[in-house]
Amino acid sequence: MSTRPPHGAEERDLLAAELAMGLLDGEERAEAEALAARDHDFRAAVAGWSGRLAPLLDEVVPAAPPASLWARIEARIAPPPSNVVQLRRKVNLWRGYSLAATAIAASLALVVVTRPAAEPRSAPPQTLVAMMQSDAGPARLVATYDPATRRLIVAAAAGMAPAAGHAHELWLIPAAGGKPHPMGIVSAVAPNKMDVPMPMASDVREGATFAISVEPPAGSPTGAPTGPVIARGKLTRA
Amino acid sequence: MLILAPRHVPLPYGLRAAFPSPSPRCMLRTMDAPRGSEEGRALGATLAAVAAGDRAAMRLLYERTSAKLYGICLRLLGSEAEAEEVLQETYVTVWRKAAAFDAGRASAITWLAVLARNKAIDRLRTRRAPADDLDAALDIADDAPLAPELIDRQRDGRRLAHCLGELEEKSAAAIRAAFLDGLSYPDLAAREGVPLPTMKSWIRRGLIRLRGCLEQ
């Protein structure tokens, strides 16, 4: 989108104030944001105005958020490694899992290529990977997702012995938060291949989270996780 | 609904005990921090520890600041559900981007409050927009330093109140409504029953005078 850039220092500073205050809407806002994205001085002017007016926020009456909110935030921030050695060990572990996942993906790709009705190939697909794990238990899974084909592969790497009378269900938590979407039962012994349906595919993106919960054999009866979450991980670019 | 968290989450005990032994980076930040209130300095150090990946510090930061930030989200969005979502987004961003906070440029609470406000405004202006756009917009706002003169918050608050008082009443009221209630130009024009260009000129005239007054 190209429009005339605002002329003159005064005009630019006022535009910065308008963006900082949130006065702009629609295209005007998009244009001002684009300018901020490419122009460091303009960006600084926007921040300057935010800062000038920030003391007004002291007038806002504080309100206690619901007690459950912290748990939701905590669930979304990755657990930090307790020390460097452990981190290195973890990285090595994941490197192994990642290689395994790549090998699985490659073997599947081979199958797809040799099949006559293979999906048409589009622009270079940004494969996404989620390493699912938990502080509490040994379960570790790797999910790889190819947005071009909407093919999701979930493989258990460790600690996922199938328990009698229980199933492991996969959930997708969109990057913007909100309710987990059920994605299906996953097997602990074989890689799981799923085709993500179109309406859900837009939520399988960088920053979204996959989680595995323990559910009755047929899956959660409520459409929301009912059992403990044994592993979770965020989708990142492979 | 079950909360998607590992079962054995760290408990809040020991949080404060964990704090008096800041990481070296945290010490550095504290020493570099400008003069400010004791509380403000502690918050800056907390934020620095968060930048270093300290989850206990993150919890402490949340405990100390979430009521203020939630109040801001609630006022701007007018919906508890949306305010909760935006607050969640805000703290996830804080966790990711705490390193962008520069104690030499702004107070920690100002940085956090502006971040929460920006997230809420983004939500207001782009309700249900693709997350990519939101993130791009936030990346712009998050890493830019605030004005360096905003270190002493009390003094700044008094000066701003004084300078807003110098403006025409309708300009000051519109600026306050935009900042505190998240009203856009069209919202404000409709509310005051004036044409859009009239509202624009009220606000722009006010902003020019305000800037001049604050720079004195």
Interface size A-B, in CB pairs within 8 Å, comes to 208
Closest residue to A63, CB basis, from B70, B113, B157: B70
Q: Is B84 on the interface with A (CB under 8 A)?
A: yes
Closest residue to A77, CB basis, from B84, B92, B131: B92
Of B176 and A164, the one with more pLDDT: B176
Residues B137, B159 share a domain: no
CB-based contacts of A229, cutoff 8 Å, min separation 6: A134, A211, A212, A213, B2, B4, B5, B6, B7
Closest residue to B184, CB basis, from A24, A50, A134: A24
Whether B215 shows a pLDDT value over 80: the answer reads yes
Residues B97, B158 share a domain: no
pLDDT, average across residues A218-222: 81
Whether A215 shows a pLDDT value over 70: the answer reads yes
Tell me how far apart the alpha carbons of residues B79 and B59 are, in angstroms, rounded to a whole number.
24
Highest mean pLDDT among B18-27, B120-129, B167-176: B167-176
Q: Is A184 helix (H, G, I), strand (E, B) or coil?
A: strand
pLDDT, average across residues B150-154: 62
pLDDT, average across residues B175-202: 96
Q: Which of residues 94-113 of A touch B (CB under 8 A)?
A: none
The residue out of B143, B161, B194 marking a domain boundary is B143
Residues B158, B130 share a domain: no
β-strands A209-215, A192-195 pairing:
unpaired
The CATH number assigned to the domain holding B176 equals 1.10.10.10
| B121: confidence class by pLDDT, cuts 50, 70, 90 | very high
| B186: confidence class by pLDDT, cuts 50, 70, 90 | very high
Of A64 and A148, the one with more pLDDT: A64
Whether A79 shows a pLDDT value over 80: the answer reads no
Q: Could you tell me which chain A residue has the CA closest to the CA of B72?
A: A60
- What distances in angstroms separate CA B48 from CA A46, B19, B143, B151, one per listed residue? 24, 11, 15, 17
Closest residue to B4, CB basis, from A18, A23, A232: A232
Please, what is the average pLDDT of chain A?
79
Our measurement of the distance from residue B171's CA atom to the centroid of its chain's CA atoms, rounded to an integer in Å, reads: 23
Residue B148 lies in a domain: no
Residues B168, B132 share a domain: no
Tell me how far apart the alpha carbons of residues B76 and B70 are, in angstroms, rounded to a whole number.
10
Q: Is the dihedral of CA A64, A66, A68, A72 positive or negative?
A: negative
The torsion angles phi and psi of A109, rounded to 5 degrees, stand at -60, -40
Residues B187, B127 share a domain: no
Residue B172 lies in a domain: yes
Please, what is the average pLDDT of chain B?
77
Residue B115 lies in a domain: yes
Residues B195, B111 share a domain: no
Contact B150 A54 (CB under 8 A): yes
A206 min Cα distance to partner chain B (Å): 9
pLDDT, average across residues B144-172: 78
Buried b (16+ CB within 10 A) or exposed e, B125-156: bbeeeebeebbebbebbbebbbbebbbbbeeb
Residue B12 lies in a domain: no
Whether B132 shows a pLDDT value over 80: the answer reads no
B71 min Cα distance to partner chain A (Å): 4
The CATH number assigned to the domain holding B88 equals 1.10.1740.10
Residue B178 lies in a domain: yes
pLDDT tens-place string over residues A2-56: 445 556 889 999 999 999 999 998 899 999 999 999 999 999 999 999 999 999 9
Of A144 and A114, the one with more pLDDT: A144
Can you give the pLDDT at residue B182?
94
Whether B23 shows a pLDDT value over 50: the answer reads no
**Cβ-contact B203, A23 below 8 angstroms:** yes
Of A227 and B212, the one with more pLDDT: B212
Q: Is A164 on the interface with B (CB under 8 A)?
A: no
From chain B, the residues in CB contact with A79 under 8 A are 6, 55
Residues B79, B161 share a domain: no
Whether B15 shows a pLDDT value over 60: the answer reads no
Can you give the pLDDT at residue A5?
55
Whether B194 shows a pLDDT value over 50: the answer reads yes
Of A121 and A141, the one with more pLDDT: A141
The residue out of B143, B178, B207 marking a domain boundary is B143
pLDDT, average across residues B21-38: 39
Residues B160, B130 share a domain: no
Residues B58, B125 share a domain: yes
Residues B70, B133 share a domain: yes
Q: Please count the structural domains in chain B.
A: 2
Domains of chain A (ranges; CATH) run: 9-59 (no CATH), 70-237 (2.60.40)
Can you give the pLDDT at residue B35?
40
Classify residue B9 by burial, with Cβ atoms within 10 Å: 0-12, 13-18, 19+. Answer: middle
Domain carrying residue B45: 17-143
A116 min Cα distance to partner chain B (Å): 35
The residue out of B143, B177, B200 marking a domain boundary is B143
Contact B207 A44 (CB under 8 A): no
Residues B82, B52 share a domain: yes
pLDDT tens-place string over residues A80-118: 444 554 555 555 566 666 666 666 666 655 555 545 444
pLDDT, average across residues B172-188: 95
Residue B111 lies in a domain: yes
B162 min Cα distance to partner chain A (Å): 12
Residue B5 lies in a domain: no
Residue B8 lies in a domain: no
A interface test, pick of B127, B207, B213 with most A CB neighbours within 10 Å:
B207
Round to the nearest angstrom and report the end-to-end CA distance of chain A: 31
Contact B114 A54 (CB under 8 A): yes
Residues B100, B46 share a domain: yes
From chain B, the residues in CB contact with A132 under 8 A are none
Of A203 and B137, the one with more pLDDT: A203
